[in-house]
Chains A and B, each alone.
Chain A
Amino acid sequence: MLRDITLGQYYQTESVIHKLDPRVKLTATICFIVSLFVVKSWVGYVAAAVFLAVMIRLSNVPFKYMVKGMKAIVFILLITVVFNLFLTPGETLVSVWKLRITREGLELAVMMAVRLSFLIVGSSVMTLTTTPNSLTDGMEDLMKPLKLFKVPVHEVAMMMSIALRFIPILLEETDKIMKAQIARGADFESGNLVKKAKAMVPLLVPLFISAFRRANDLAMAMEARCYRGGEHRTKMKPLKYAARDRIAYGVLAAYFALCIAIRIYL
């Protein structure tokens, strides 16, 4: 039942996007998100849609997987749309009882919905094509300048990769404990909110204990292998830009320039 969660999941396949340097993909994702807020006209959104469609096509990941990530934000999306639709002042189109839909509101609602869904799909292209490990590697490298301000970049990256690594483990553990308690007659589904919250105790207590136990074991194992943080640490496979990464940067720059041009001239 919990296996359906695709958050931060990696989809294994062969593609140009998979082979790109994680730093390129991170930069591209950030640029794409920024571009969504730069453009304001429909032409801009068409450009973003085309860019996104090409990326999805190149990534060889079935479109179904991209949409799966959307399920998590359906609720947020709905709230955004409803609020924008009814609460934006302007020229009235339809009015029912005290609620009225304005032309501006409709435009804003659609725009918000498009923005949000592009944002999610765009970021899932990155997470689906990049392993959590190379993602944190890329992040560490991009954040290097922050070291000047005494930010513990390596440690932050390490914490992130451990956190990501633990998501599937804890999900599996949750599934197991849930089943064990159901076998003892526990009921997680019926009852009102208070009853449901109380029913979570037999799940959460063992889960927290197991999370602490695992964290403790991991810390011990790292210590036993003389882990001592980022100082003087070298990598077996340091990140290196290849020709395709430079081309990707070029494409990205062109796309971003186009978005700015659209914003200025249209």
Chain B
Amino acid sequence: MSIILDHVDYVYGGDTALAVHALKDISLVIPDGQFIGLIGHTGSGKSTLVQHLNGLIKPTAGSIYYNGEDIHAADYDKKKLRSKVGLVFQYPEHQLFEIDVFSDVCFGPKNLGLSKKETELRAYAALKQVGLEDEYFYQSPFDLSGGQKRRVAIAGVLAMKPDVLVLDEPTAGLDPKGRDEILDQIAKLKEETGITVILVSHSMEDVAKYVERIIVMNQGSVMYDGAPKEVFAHYRELEQIGLAAPQVTYIMRALHENGMPVATDATTIGEAKQEILKALGR
């Protein structure tokens, strides 16, 4: 049970002079239950990559397998795939359209052809999972705040009960509090249900705290792929492509250079704290 990308290439704009080679020879294995951060600068191809995962874009060359089946085979059921690989787009609140929050979340499961009862149960569960209070359920989605709208939109995908949840920049444009709330909820959801989560972001800080594997994209290729500690060890190279390691990494480096015997591979504040306390002998 996994997603496999086999030498995937994608070119925008086909045969015109304006063709853009968005993905170059991407090969990845995404096993079940992993929490992955997909990181890259604007235009690095990360959004294009995630749209391949549920078959919205067909690769120019190469193949994609979900649970061992080629998703672009003629007899493959794409609709089923899209219910299994849930994709939350950037600024997902722009896709809300129903008269109230609850009906909007029902849209996904209803399209799967589920019974009314099952649809509503799923919608209710999904809205609870994203932490939206009951009082908002029958309000117009357009009357909610930005953060609440985004939760509704995420719930709209969760209600389809995907096995893989892909979130494209789920925190873009939110304030720090809204950002932390959404990320915490995603982490909690991951823990409770054990689904695969792929978090697309350009912020190392966001990602470092939660994920177990980081894939760094640069100009359409995979640059690094590994545990956060391994990837952040390349912080100089990351800076060159317009990204940065989490701030604690820099602090630990500076402490180390100034003679404090700390390990420099801490990626979260918690780890850094322990390291420093250890070095101070407490």
Contact = CB atoms under 8 A, between A and B. Distances in A.
A93 interface: no
A84 to B, nearest CB: 36
Given A3-B13, A187-B79, A206 B54 contact: no
A183 B89 contact: yes
B87 A201 contact: no
Contacts of B56: 179, 182-183
B108 interface: yes
A177 interface: yes
Interface in B29-88: 51, 54, 56, 79, 82-83, 86-87
Contacts of A176: 89, 94
Nearest to A201: B97
B92 interface: yes
A183 B157 CA distance: 8
A185 B142 contact: no
A182 B86 CA distance: 11
Contacts of B142: 209
A202 B94 CA distance: 11
A185 B51 CA distance: 14
Nearest to B83: A185
B89 A179 contact: yes
A184 interface: yes
Interface in A139-183: 176-177, 179-183
A187 B112 CA distance: 10
The residue among B13, B56, B94 with the most chain A CB atoms within 10 A of its own CB is B94
B235 interface: no
Interface in A172-224: 176-177, 179-187, 201-202, 205-206, 209-210
A3 B57 CA distance: 13
Contacts of B108: 184-185
Nearest to B108: A184
A210 B108 CA distance: 21
B124 interface: no
B95 A182 contact: no
Contacts, number: 55
B95 A206 contact: yes
A183 B86 contact: yes
Interface bracket on B: 20 to 34
B199 interface: no
Contacts of B83: 185
A177 B96 CA distance: 9
Contacts of A187: 79, 111
Nearest to B112: A185
A195 B89 CA distance: 25
A183 B82 contact: yes
A256 B86 CA distance: 61
B107 interface: yes
A179 B91 CA distance: 13
B156 interface: yes
Contacts of B79: 185, 187
B82 to A, nearest CB: 6
A210 B111 CA distance: 24
Contacts of B94: 176-177, 180, 206, 209-210
Contact of A185 (B95, B96, B111): B111
A3 B54 CA distance: 21
Nearest to A202: B97
Nearest to B87: A183
Nearest to B92: A180
Top 8 nearest A-B pairs (CB, nearest first) are A185-B111, A205-B97, A180-B95, A184-B108, A183-B87, A180-B89, A202-B97, A179-B56
Given A185-B83, A209-B94, 8 more contacts: A177-B95, A179-B51, A180-B87, A184-B107, A184-B157, A202-B95, A202-B97, A206-B97
